[in-house]
Amino acid sequence: MKWKKLTIDTTTAATDMISYMLGELGIEGIEVEDHVPLTEEDRKTMYVDLLPDEIAPDDGTARISCYLEEDKDLEKLAEQIREELDQIGKWMDVGTATITFGETEDKDWINNWKQYFKPFRLDDTIVIKPTWETLDEQDEADLVIQIDPGTAFGTGSHETTRLCISQLKKHITPGCRLLDAGCGSGILSIIGVKLGVGEAVGVDIDPNAVTATLDNMAINGVSEDQLRVIRGNILEDDALRDQLGYHCYDIVVANILADVIIPLSGKVAAHLKPGGIFITSGIIDTKEQDVKDALAANGFTVREVTRMGEWVSIMASPAE
C-alpha cells in the first residue's frame, strides 16, 4: 500500500502549535525533524549518545511530516493547512511554511527496520539471530542468542555492545553474579547467563526495556531464577539500591553512555564484592578521560581499556 506524505517546513518554536492544528484537522500521527538537543531527562531515559559529527547545530528550523492514505485529497488538505498557517503566522514565526508532497511504501514504520537486522557472528563462538530470521549456517560449538530488541536498544551489532561482550567472556566465572545497569534488550545479561553466570540482575529505567528483556529471556530459555529484571533508576532510587543488595556482585556491566557512567561510578562500588570488576562501554573516545577521572575520584583503578572505532570500553575495579 502506498502512502502519501505531506511535509511542512517551519520553525522549532511553531512545531507544537502546528502539530495541534494538524490533529484538529484529523491527522493522527506526525513526524517532527529538528536539531533541538536532547534534554537531560531525555538522555537519562533513552540512554543514548551521539558522535560529534552526528550533531547538527540547532538553526531553529524544523520539518513536520504526516502520512496519509492513498485516496486522501492532498491538495484540498494542503489548502486547509495553508489557511491555518496564515492564521498562526499572524502571531508567531512559522518560517517558510512551505508544503511539499511525497510518497512512500512504508506501511509499518515500527517494524520496517527489521529487514536490515540479519543474523551475524559476534565473534568466533557467539551468533546473534533475530527471532524472525532463520539461521542457514551454524557451527557445533556456536552459542546462538535470539534477540528481538523491540523498541529497546541492544541488537549486539554496535561496537559498544561488542566491547562489553568481549570483556564479559574474559571475566565471567561459573556461578558468578552479574548486575547489568541499563539492560536494554537484555542481550548482555542473557549472554552472561549462557556463559556461566549463576545469577544476573538487569535494571533499566525504560519500561520497554524491561518488556523486551523478559521476552528475550523466554525466547532463549533463560528463567527468572537465572535473570531478574527490575525497572528503576540506580542513580536516584535508594530503595532500589537496597533491593539490589550490597557487596554481592562479581561483575557490574554498564553499556550506556559516558554522562551516565560518570555519576554511576559513585554508586557501583557499594554493590561489588571485594575483587569485583566494573565493565563500562558506550563511551565516545572524546569522553574517555572524563570517565577515567570519575572512576579514580570514586576509588576505582582502571585495569584495561579496549577500543573499537570511536568507542571505548573501560574495565575497572575498586582500589584495594
Q: What is the pLDDT of residues 117-172, one digit of tens each?
A: 677 777 788 888 887 777 777 777 788 888 876 644 555 557 888 899 999 999 99
Q: How many domains does the chain have?
A: 2
Residue 131 lies in a domain: no
Domain shared by 173 and 279, yes or no: yes
Instruction: Look at residue 22 and tell me if it is in a domain.
Output: yes
In a domain, 206, yes or no: yes
Whether 79 and 199 map to the same domain: the answer is no
On whether both 100 and 163 belong to a single domain, the answer is no
Candidates 35, 26, 27, 37; CA nearest to 7 is: 27
CATH number at residue 266: 3.40.50.150
End position of a domain, from candidates 104, 120, 136:
104
Rg for the chain (alpha carbons), in Å? 23
Confidence (pLDDT) at 192:
95
The answer to whether residue 244 is domain-embedded is yes
3-class SS string, 222-248 = CCCCCEEEEECCCCCCHHHHHHHCCCC
Alpha carbons 203 and 113: distance in angstroms, whole number? 26
CA distances from 74 to 17, 22, 196, 197 (A): 21, 13, 58, 57
C-alpha cell at 119: 543474523
Together in a domain, 99 and 163? no
- pLDDT range class, residue 57, cuts 50, 70, 90: low
β-strands 177-181, 249-255 pairing = parallel
Same domain, 81 and 220: no
Do 187 and 98 lie in one domain? The reply is: no
Q: Clarify whether residues 167 and 95 are in a common domain.
A: no
Query: Residue 258 has what pLDDT?
Result: 87
* 272 against 17, higher pLDDT: 272
Q: How far apart are CA 46 and CA 126, in angstroms?
A: 27
Asked whether residue 133 is domain-assigned, the answer is: no
Structural domain ending residue among the three candidates 104, 135, 169:
104
**Average model confidence (pLDDT) for the chain?**
84
Question: Residue 26 sits in which domain range?
Answer: 3-104
Q: Which one is predicted more confidently, 43 or 71?
A: 71
104, 123, 148 — which closes off a domain? 104
Report the CATH number at residue 8. Answer: 3.30.70.120
The tens digit of pLDDT for each residue in 245-278 reads 999 999 999 998 888 899 999 999 999 999 999 9
Task: Answer yes or no: is pLDDT of 202 > 90.
Answer: yes
Whether 124 is in a domain gets the answer no
Q: Are residues 164 and 311 in the same domain?
A: yes
